[in-house]
């Protein structure tokens, strides 16, 4: 019985020591982007573009993908 309790306690400690870290990265802008809002078909599907048109949602700079130079830096 004592061995069982010690074993469970040891497993609990082992799980706690395997810490997983999570990070949130926030980018301030979308400079150095290889895409343009003038050509949304390069980064949005035709279905997404049609849906946005039906709903009257204009494509703006927030729709641009993250620049590859930012991803490389991260």
- 56 three-class SS: coil
Per-residue pLDDT of the chain (74 residues; tens, 9 = 90+): 444 444 455 555 555 567 889 988 888 888 888 899 999 999 999 999 999 999 999 999 889 998 888 888 88
Q: Quote the CA–CA distance of 1 and 3 in Å, as a whole number.
A: 5
Q: How many of the other CB atoms lie within 10 Å of CB of 49?
A: 14
Question: Token digits for 25?
Answer: 């990265």
């Amino acid at each position: 019985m004592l061995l069982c309790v010690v074993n469970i306690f040891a497993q609990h400690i082992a799980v706690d020591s395997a810490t997983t870290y999570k990070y949130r990265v926030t980018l301030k802008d979308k400079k150095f982007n290889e895409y343009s809002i003038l050509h949304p078909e390069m980064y949005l599907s035709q279905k997404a573009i049609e849906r946005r048109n039906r709903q009257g949602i204009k494509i703006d700079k927030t729709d641009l993908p993250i620049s590859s130079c930012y991803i490389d830096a991260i």
